[in-house]
Amino acid sequence: MVETDYYELLQVDRSADDKTIKSAYRRLAMECHPDRNGGCPDAEARFKAISQAYDCLKDPQKRAAYDRFGHAAFQNGGFGGGPAGGAQDFGSFADIFDNIFGEFMGGAQGRQRDVRRGSDLRYDLEIRLEDAFEGREVELSIDTTATCEPCGGSGAKPGTSARTCNTCGGHGQVRARQGFFVVEQTCPVCRGVGEMIADPCRSCRGEGRVEKRKTLTVNIPAGVDEGTRIRLAGEGEAGVRGGPAGDLYIFVHLARHAIFQRDGTTLFCRAPISFTTAALGGCIEVPGLDRAPNEVRIPAGIQSGKQLRLRGAGMPALNARGRGDMVIEIEVETPTRLSARQRELLEAFRETETGDECPNSRTFFQKLKDAITG
C-alpha cells in the first residue's frame, strides 16, 4: 500500500513553518469533515488522512523523525503507534471546530464551568443644583445581595464542597445535534454552574449569597448634569457560588431650582428691573450658585426679553477646567403701587411726551392706522 506524503496531504512545502501547517490543516479540515459532506466515505477517509498528517507534523519530534525515516518512523510501535497506527475517532463537527479554533473561542480543553455574574443595579439619585455645582459626598443605602460569609460563596455547607455535575462534566453546557449543526445549551441539571451541592449551606441555601442592606459613600463630582451615569464596579449583586459581582449604576437627576435653569454649563435666570432703571440704565447684583455677587450693568433703554451674558459665572465643566456662562433675561416691571408724589411726577412726564421716547409703540400704531384706512 502506497502511503501519501504528509506534506502533500496538507498541500505545504517541506520547509513550511508551524503557522503555515496549522493554517493549511484548518482549511482542509473544514472542507473535508464528513459532517459537511453528508457522510461521504471519500471525505471521511481524506479527513482522517489529513488529521494523521497534522498530528505528526505539529509535533517537532515526530516531524523530525518523519523527515528522516518517512512513514517507517511510526511502524512497529514507533512513537507509541503514531498517527498511522489505527483508526481515529474524528468526533462531531463541533469537536473539530474546537480543536481548530480553540485558542480563539475557548476550545474543549480550555472550557471551564460557567460562573454566573451578579446582576447590575440601578440607583436614581436626586440632588440640588447647588450640589451639582460644588460636588459632594452622598451616602446611599441599597438592598442587594452579598457573598455568604459562612460558606465563602461556595454554596456548600462549611466543611464540605460541591461535586462536579455528572450531566455536563463540569462544563456547565451540554451539546445537542440539530441536523447539520451542533449547538450548546445550558446544562438543565446544574443550570450552567458545572457543580452540584449535596449538602447546601444553611445561611444561603446553596446560592452562595444572601440578601443584605449596604451603605455606600459616593463622590458626586462637580459639574454633573441630568442623566449623568456613575458606575461603581463590583457594588452590584454578588455572583452565584463565587461568581463576580455586578456593578452599581447611579443615575443623577437634578431637582427643580427656584431661580436658575440649566442647559449644559450655561445657567439661565430672569431678573426683573424697575422701569426707571430700564429707561435710565444702572447696575443690578445677581448672586451665582457660588454665592458670589455678580454686578450686571444695565444699558439705558433696555427692553423686556433682552439677554445679558456673564462670562464664567455658569456651571463648572464635568471632569474639566473652566465654567460656563450665566445668561440673564431682563424683565421690565411696571410699578403697581405709586405714591401721590410719584404719580404727580409721572403725570408731568406724560405731558412732555412727544412719541419719540418709545419709537416701537409709535411705529406700531401708525402701521395699524394705515392698515385700517387702506
DSSP per residue, 67-115: HHHGGGGGSTTGGGG-TTSS------HHHHHHHHHHHHHT-TTT----P
CATH assignment of the domain containing 61: 1.10.287.110
Residue 201 marked in a binding site:
yes
Predicted structure pTM score: 0.57
How far, in Å, CA of 39 to CA of 37, rounded?
A: 6
Residue 368 pLDDT > 90, yes or no? Answer: no
Q: Which helix (H) or strand (E) holds 268?
A: strand 266-274
In a domain, 343, yes or no: yes
In a domain, 116, yes or no: no
Query: pLDDT value at position 344?
Result: 94
Q: Which of 84, 105, 126 is the last residue of a domain?
A: 105
Share of the chain above pLDDT 70, in %: 85
Q: How many domains does the chain have?
A: 2
Give the tens place of pLDDT for each residue, 231-260.
999 999 998 777 889 999 999 999 999 999
Give the tens place of pLDDT for each residue, 304-333.
999 999 999 999 999 888 999 999 999 999
Weakest mean pLDDT among 18-27, 31-40, 183-192: 31-40
Query: pLDDT value at position 134?
Result: 94
Task: Please list the residues that pair with 185 across neighbouring strands.
Answer: 174
Name every residue whose Cβ is closer than 8 Å to that of residue 341 and which is 6 or more positions away in sequence. none
Share of the chain above pLDDT 90, in %: 40
In a domain, 275, yes or no: yes
Residue 190 marked in a binding site:
yes
Query: pLDDT value at position 75?
Result: 63
Give the Å distances, CA to CA, from 127 to 137, 138, 225, 330: 11, 9, 10, 28
Residue 40 marked in a binding site:
no
Weakest mean pLDDT among 77-81, 237-241, 259-263, 340-344: 77-81
In a domain, 254, yes or no: no
Average pLDDT over residues 178-202: 79
Q: Which of 105, 131, 154 is the last residue of a domain?
A: 105
Average pLDDT over residues 12-20: 89
Closest by CA position to 138, among listed 39, 237, 218, 243: 218
Name every residue whose Cβ is closer than 8 Å to that of residue 213 and which is 6 or more positions away in sequence. 141, 142, 143, 144
Residue 168 marked in a binding site:
yes
In a domain, 224, yes or no: no
In a domain, 154, yes or no: no
Residue 269 marked in a binding site:
no
CATH assignment of the domain containing 311: 2.60.260.20
Query: pLDDT value at position 231?
Result: 93
Centroid of chain to Cα 84: 52
Query: pLDDT value at position 85?
Result: 38
In a domain, 324, yes or no: yes
pLDDT bracket for residue 180 (50, 70, 90):
low
Q: Which of 76, 105, 134 is the last residue of a domain?
A: 105
Residue 162 pLDDT > 60, yes or no? Answer: yes
pLDDT bracket for residue 132 (50, 70, 90):
very high
Task: Please list the residues that pair with 284 across neighbouring strands.
Answer: 296
How far, in Å, CA of 163 to CA of 72, rounded?
A: 47
Q: Which domain holds residue 53?
A: 6-105
Query: To the nearest whole number, what is the mean pLDDT of the chain?
Result: 83
Q: Identity (one letter) of the amino acid at 204?
A: C
In a domain, 47, yes or no: yes
